[in-house]
């Protein structure tokens, strides 16, 4: 029976190689002696499964590299393992006569606060196709990617594009091999990494048995595909999950010249531009792509930044204009903030350089006018009204303001639209403040309009020990800020110790400027002169959804002693049925006198504390 089985396997492998080489475009000829034998495949499977027992568990630790280094020599001595080594923070197994098996830890995502419920631009003249890939769809730690995909699907559908969405295992090897060249815009949410001299992108296809990779043995050996294990949260449990990945070799060999005529490709994955020659980006460009955008290091903002960039460009901006107008937190990921580890910062970059003037839609140029504050004026109030309009626009589809105090990074805030006009309250810093506004709108002739304007104003204000800002991304919703002084517990919330809507001017120095009950924010809590040393605790609470039962995303920004902003969020918060027992999140702790800001990011169920607290009703 064993001989018959081996004979059948041998025939199957021969037929597989014939089929594979028949559909390849540029494969080199593989000698039969290079093929992996049946016995060797069994040894590979046994060795990898043996290694996976420890490699998987180490992947889930806070420092997997150290753990893997202690096991390297054991791994390398197993059958059919040519070498085992650490490359670019990942564990790599090089298989004899085969390709690579990789373990790489993923990062939590940070979404700068750029979401906005908005009307849709319609453009019936553009019938190009858009592909939205969400390889991370099943990962509960990446749940924020789902509304990003949903929003872009609605947005581009109403622009007149034909939009396809591929989630999880729908984004399989077959899609990457046969379907990519059918699309004008490709927006890819997936894990990526530059590992062992190749740039890898995860597909959504799981590696569950060895038959699939045996059928693609030549591709695997030629480093077109690999197996990459990441830490993934499903049903509240974090486990390693192995996916098939593609590299720059895959794009070069699977597609012919001009397969992507003038296409726009955005890659959210880490390190897609890390290699010295940007092989993956250039592989797409060599096949005709007009612009490829990605990140040169590990990043935690790639998904939301790509969404923001596409919305800006859908208003008619060029690629250069769109990237220029992105808030700082969306194009320069300060590695170490937002729980994104790594030795260096990550930059949003693009190729080719000739794509500076690349557009995905054609629009007329608009002009933004800011009526208040006035360019060049001096202001003595910390919170001022930002108001203006987009000339010749009957409605705004998108409005955003970035307020920065050079040399520090700015923070971004949604503008509230009213026809072609906008308004919002903003927080000025002491000294020079740069206010940059970007708007997309719709003209009376139905043609999209895009415009931007930057002004400078001066704040003459007392220096702050602590400054904070709260924003959220839905209308008709009431989210609150709370700040507790040192030596406080949760039972001190909604008491005279708490800086909140019912105690806006505290005895210990905390001041809340406004209680925004209708949506978006902002709210600010400040301390001019702290009186107590120790750890201050900052919270956000979803007080009321006004009976609409709408979840929202909350964002908080904090600085100390007039330094740089620290950004936190998004916090997906819900409120069941409009009661005041909505989600409570502890954002961070602020230590005085050092000014150190320590992330907490912990959710509390108020139902567990309801006997200890009383939540005062608000006066309407």
For 571-590, write each residue's pLDDT tens digit: 878 876 556 778 889 999 99
Cα–Cα distances (Å) from 548 to 476, 515, 529, 571, 581, in that order, read 8, 20, 40, 19, 15
Task: Verify that 144 and 261 share a domain, yes or no.
Answer: yes
Task: Verify that 486 and 441 share a domain, yes or no.
Answer: no
Sign of torsion over alpha carbons 353, 134, 232, 588: positive
Instruction: Specify if 48 maps to a domain.
Output: no
Task: Verify that 478 and 449 share a domain, yes or no.
Answer: no
Residues in the chain: 620
Task: Verify that 411 and 299 share a domain, yes or no.
Answer: no
pLDDT of residue 22: 30
- DSSP tag of 415: P
Given 357, 374, 394, the domain boundary residue is 357
Q: Quote the tokens at residue 409.
A: 């990074």
What's the CATH number where 452 sits? 2.60.40.10
What's the CATH number where 536 sits? 2.60.60.30
Task: Verify that 387 and 352 share a domain, yes or no.
Answer: no
Residues 6+ apart with CB under 8 A from 380: 459, 460, 461
3-state SS, residue 574: coil
Task: Verify that 441 and 530 share a domain, yes or no.
Answer: no
Task: State which residues form the domain around 427.
Answer: 363-461
Task: Verify that 320 and 342 share a domain, yes or no.
Answer: yes
Q: Quote the tokens at residue 62.
A: 């806070």
pLDDT digits (tens, 9 = 90+) for 139-159: 988 888 898 899 899 888 877
Task: Verify that 582 and 539 share a domain, yes or no.
Answer: yes
Task: Verify that 279 and 380 share a domain, yes or no.
Answer: no
Task: Verify that 409 and 276 share a domain, yes or no.
Answer: no
pLDDT digits (tens, 9 = 90+) for 364-411: 677 899 999 999 999 999 889 999 999 988 988 778 888 888 888 778
Task: Verify that 380 and 496 share a domain, yes or no.
Answer: no
Q: Is 86 within 8 Å of 58 (Cβ atoms)?
A: no
Is the pLDDT at 287 greater than 50, yes or no?
yes
Is the pLDDT at 302 greater than 80, yes or no?
yes
Given 434, 461, 488, the domain boundary residue is 461
Phi, psi of 140 (to 5 degrees): -65, -25
Instruction: Specify if 174 maps to a domain.
Output: yes
Q: Quote the tokens at residue 232.
A: 């993934």
Q: Quote the tokens at residue 74.
A: 């054991």
Instruction: Specify if 81 maps to a domain.
Output: no
Instruction: Specify if 551 maps to a domain.
Output: yes
Closest CA to 572 of 134, 146, 133: 146
Instruction: Specify if 258 maps to a domain.
Output: yes
What's the CATH number where 149 sits? 3.40.50
Task: Verify that 367 and 453 share a domain, yes or no.
Answer: yes
Q: How many domains does the chain have?
A: 3
- Predicted TM-score of the model (pTM): 0.67
Given 404, 437, 461, the domain boundary residue is 461
Instruction: Specify if 114 maps to a domain.
Output: no
Instruction: Specify if 62 maps to a domain.
Output: no
Strand locations in 174-263, DSSP E?
A: 185-189, 192-195, 198-206, 225-234, 237-246
Region of poorest pLDDT, from 16-30, 90-104, 549-563: 16-30
Region of poorest pLDDT, from 318-332, 415-429, 457-471: 318-332
Instruction: Specify if 12 maps to a domain.
Output: no
Closest CA to 303 of 251, 261, 338: 338
């Amino acid at each position: 029976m064993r001989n018959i089985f081996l004979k059948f396997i041998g025939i199957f492998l021969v037929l597989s190689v014939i089929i594979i080489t028949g559909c390849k475009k540029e494969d080199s000829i593989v000698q039969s002696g290079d093929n992996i034998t049946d016995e060797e495949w069994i040894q590979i499977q046994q060795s990898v499964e043996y290694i996976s027992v420890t490699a998987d568990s180490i992947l889930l630790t806070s420092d997997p590299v150290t753990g893997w280094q202690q096991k390297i020599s054991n791994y390398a001595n197993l059958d059919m393992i040519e070498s085992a080594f650490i490359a670019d923070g990942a564990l790599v197994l090089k298989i004899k006569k085969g390709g690579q098996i990789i373990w790489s830890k993923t990062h939590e995502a940070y979404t700068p606060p750029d979401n906005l419920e908005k009307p849709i631009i319609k453009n019936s003249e553009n019938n190009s196709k858009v592909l939205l890939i969400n390889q991370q769809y099943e990962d509960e730690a990446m749940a924020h990617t789902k509304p990003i995909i949903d929003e872009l699907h609605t947005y581009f559908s109403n622009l007149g594009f034909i939009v396809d969405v591929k989630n999880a295992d729908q984004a399989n090897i077959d899609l990457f091999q046969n379907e990519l060249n059918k699309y004008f815009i490709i927006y890819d949410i997936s894990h990526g990494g530059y590992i062992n001299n190749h740039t890898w992108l995860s597909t959504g296809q799981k590696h569950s048995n060895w038959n699939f990779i045996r059928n693609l043995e030549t591709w695997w050996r030629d480093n077109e595909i690999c197996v990459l294990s990441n830490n993934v949260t499903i049903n509240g449990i974090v486990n390693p999950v192995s996916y098939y990945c593609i590299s720059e070799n895959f794009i070069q060999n699977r597609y012919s010249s001009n397969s992507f005529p003038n296409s726009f490709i955005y890659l959210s994955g880490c390190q897609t531009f890390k290699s010295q020659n940007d092989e993956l980006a250039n592989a797409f460009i060599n096949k005709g792509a007009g612009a490829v955008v990605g990140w040169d290091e590990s990043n935690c903002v790639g998904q939301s930044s790509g969404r923001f960039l596409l919305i800006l460009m859908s208003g008619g901006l060029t690629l250069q204009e769109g990237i220029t107008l992105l808030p700082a937190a969306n194009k320069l990921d300060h590695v170490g903030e937002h729980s994104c580890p790594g030795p260096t910062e990550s930059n949003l970059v693009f190729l080719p350089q000739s794509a500076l003037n690349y557009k995905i839609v054609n629009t007329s140029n608009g002009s933004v006018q800011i009526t208040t504050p006035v360019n060049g004026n001096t202001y003595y109030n910390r919170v001022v009204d930002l108001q203006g309009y987009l000339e010749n626009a009957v409605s705004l589809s998108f409005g955003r303001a970035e307020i920065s105090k050079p040399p520090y990074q700015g923070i971004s805030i949604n503008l509230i639209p009213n026809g072609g006009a906008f308004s919002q309250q903003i927080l000025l810093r002491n000294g020079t403040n740069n206010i940059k506004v970007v708007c997309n709108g719709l003209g009376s002739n139905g043609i999209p309009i895009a415009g931007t304007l930057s002004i400078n104003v001066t704040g003459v204000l007392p220096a702050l020990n602590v400054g904070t800002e709260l924003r959220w991304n839905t209308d008709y919703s009431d989210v609150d800020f709370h700040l507790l002084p040192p030596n406080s517990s949760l039972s001190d919330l909604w008491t005279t110790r708490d800086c909140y809507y019912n105690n806006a001017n505290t005895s210990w120095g905390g001041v809340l400027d406004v209680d925004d009950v209708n949506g978006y924010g902002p709210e600010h809590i400040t301390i001019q002169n702290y009186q107590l040393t120790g750890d201050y605790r900052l919270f956000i609470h979803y007080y009321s959804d006004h009976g609409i039962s709408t979840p929202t995303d909350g964002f908080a920004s904090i600085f100390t002693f007039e330094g740089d902003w620290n950004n936190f969020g998004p916090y997906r918060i819900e409120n069941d049925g409009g009661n005041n027992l909505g989600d409570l999140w502890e954002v961070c702790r602020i230590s005085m006198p050092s000014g150190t800001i320590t992330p907490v990011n912990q959710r509390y169920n108020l139902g567990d504390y309801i006997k200890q607290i009383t939540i005062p009703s608000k006066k309407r």
